[in-house]
């Protein structure tokens, strides 16, 4: 049995094909235990810690932090019996065979030793007669040495480029390529200047790429007068910008006082002033889901501004209770309770479009959108409709804490039936949210602000917020959507009286 075992990146959720290595929790040479967390990996749904399948000593780490690895690819090698003696140096890449007594186990599903195609005694491979393994080694063709003739030159030596012009025979004094030791391959080398950059004359052909030529035209720079610093004297983008700035500085003393151009430099717009952010992980999955939802489900959004003054006062009374003091109690808790009660009154809102049928669900997996450092995620509280208000507060507190720490499990972000997104925490009044795939309704909660409001036939300062409900118009028509949003607003306006009337 092999001592060295390679640990492949496992499938961390349904449909996931890759993951990004965020942080290694172990290092080469470190002794680890069974089920000890060894690496933190971000998938398209969450960041999770992966435990070790074996105890032992870490022999090799195959991928650095920040690398994206496909599921099933080896990421680490572990010596499960480090006390059995020294091993030859480990290979630097997974899947390679080693020499000596070191043995790398085959991957899952590989052919067992002794069978056709599997390893055989003596380091051979068991094969059928006439179908032996390939014994040759692929060789790279030597690179062509620019400017040193038409034939390929040695790849290890630096190339000696010559300026464009008539071809000169080798016997006429053209230097030969220099070997890695810096000695010429001929007995009488002719000294040459490194990186020759002959000054182009009028009418001479200028070496410059099309983007560089366009930049020169835009800035009014004559390429013939520019000295190139690139290979073979080619003019680069920096050369053009430098020449443009020199011309501006030279022209500024002679410019009139009223021309408005004195001291003004030329702005550059290009890759040097741009940043590129890779689209991966949570952000990539969110983008795919939003595109799929926006162009598959016909969205309708309705708005309702409500008076939350009594809900805010009810929360203050709850916070004074001993069992509530350690919990996260916010107006979002009252909104969540309102949604659950409204779903109970209008079950069709809690459904999914399935083509030839509508799947109405008698359970509510309440999704709460959470903004994290890795992007927007929507974990959900399973069967939230059966929880008491205290249990719902506990579940929401744990959900937010786990999401902020980046520890939300993939299972907690699947199976949602209806979602709440709180844009009010960012000071936003409202929005038009996009449905998560497979859901038929999502509620956006705006910021709670003090505003003049007609209360008991008088203008009072009240706590007011705007709700926005987006729904799938294939399932929810205007009447149903309006009734659902109306009931949510009614509960938030007077939670005590509404709760007594509905239960």
Residues with catalytic roles: 473
Q: Token pair 């059928």 is at which residue?
A: 128
Q: Which class for 355: exposed (0-12), middle (13-18), buried (19 or more C-beta within 10 A)?
A: exposed
Beta-bridged to residue 165, according to DSSP, are none
For 293-440, where are the E strands, in sequence order?
299-307, 351-353, 358-360, 366-368, 370-372, 375-377, 380-381, 418-422
Please answer whether residues 416 and 436 qualify as being in contact, where contact means their C-beta atoms are separated by less than 8 angstroms.
Answer: yes
With beta carbons less than 8 A apart as the criterion, state whether 392 and 425 touch.
no
What is the enclosing helix (H) or strand (E) of 339? helix 331-345
φ and ψ at residue 254, rounded to 5 degrees: -90, -5
At residue 247, φ and ψ (nearest 5 deg) are -65, -35
Which residue reads 């309705």 in tokens? 302
Is residue 209 a contact partner of residue 240, using CB atoms and an 8 Å limit? Answer: no
Contacts 24+ apart (CB under 8 A), 395-401: 396/328, 396/332, 396/333, 396/336, 396/368, 397/327, 397/328, 399/368, 399/370, 400/328, 400/368, 400/370
Burial of 341 (0-12, 13-18, 19+ CB in 10 A): buried
């Amino acid at each position: 049995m092999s001592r060295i075992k390679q640990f492949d990146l496992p499938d961390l959720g349904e449909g996931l094909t890759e993951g990004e290595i965020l942080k290694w929790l172990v290092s080469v040479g470190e002794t680890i235990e069974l089920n000890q967390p060894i690496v933190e990996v971000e998938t398209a749904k969450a960041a999770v810690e992966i435990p070790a399948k074996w105890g032992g000593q870490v022999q090799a780490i195959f991928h650095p932090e920040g690398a994206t690895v496909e599921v099933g690819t080896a990421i680490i090698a572990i010596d499960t019996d480090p006390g059995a003696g020294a091993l030859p140096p480990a290979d630097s890449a997974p899947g390679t065979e080693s020499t000596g007594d070191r043995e790398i186990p085959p991957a899952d599903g590989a052919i067992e030793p002794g069978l056709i195609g599997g390893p055989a005694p003596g380091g051979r491979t068991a094969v059928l007669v006439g179908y032996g393994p390939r014994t040759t080694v692929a060789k790279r063709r030597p690179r062509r040495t620019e400017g040193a003739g038409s034939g390929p030159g040695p790849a290890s030596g630096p190339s000696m480029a010559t300026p464009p012009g008539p071809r000169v025979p080798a016997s006429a004094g053209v230097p030969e390529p220099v070997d890695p030791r810096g000695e010429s391959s001929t007995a009488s080398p002719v000294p040459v200047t490194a990186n020759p950059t002959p000054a182009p004359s009028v009418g001479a052909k200028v070496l410059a790429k099309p983007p560089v030529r366009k930049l020169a035209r835009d800035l009014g720079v004559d390429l013939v007068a520019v000295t190139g610093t690139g290979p073979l004297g080619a003019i680069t983008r920096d050369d053009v910008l430098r020449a443009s700035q020199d011309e501006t500085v030279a022209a500024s003393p002679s410019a009139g006082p009223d021309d408005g151009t004195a001291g003004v430099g030329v702005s550059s717009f290009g890759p040097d002033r741009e940043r590129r952010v890779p689209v991966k992980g949570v952000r990539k999955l969110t983008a795919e889901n939003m595109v799929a939802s926006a162009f598959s489900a016909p969205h309708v959004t309705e708005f309702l501004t409500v008076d939350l003054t009594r809900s805010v006062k009810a929360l203050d009374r709850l916070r004074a209770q001993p069992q509530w003091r350690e919990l996260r109690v916010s107006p979002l808790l009252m909104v969540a309770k309102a949604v659950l009660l409204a779903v109970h009154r209008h079950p069709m809102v809690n459904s999914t479009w399935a083509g030839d049928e509508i799947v109405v669900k008698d359970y509510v997996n309440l999704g709460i959108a959470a903004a994290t450092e890795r992007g927007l995620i929507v974990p959900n509280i399973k069967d939230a409709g059966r929880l008491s208000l205290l249990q719902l507060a506990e579940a929401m507190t744990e959900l937010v804490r786990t999401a902020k720490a980046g520890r939300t499990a993939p299972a907690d972000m699947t199976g949602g039936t209806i979602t709440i997104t709180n844009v009010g925490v960012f000071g936003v009044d409202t929005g038009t949210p996009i449905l998560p795939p497979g859901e038929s309704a999502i509620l956006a909660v705006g910021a709670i602000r003090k505003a003049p409001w007609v209360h008991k036939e008088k203008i009072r300062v009240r706590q007011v917020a705007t709700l926005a409900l987006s729904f799938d118009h294939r399932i929810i028509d205007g009447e149903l959507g309006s009734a659902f949003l109306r009931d949510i607003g009614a509960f938030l306006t007077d939670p005590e009286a509404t709760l007594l009337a509905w239960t």
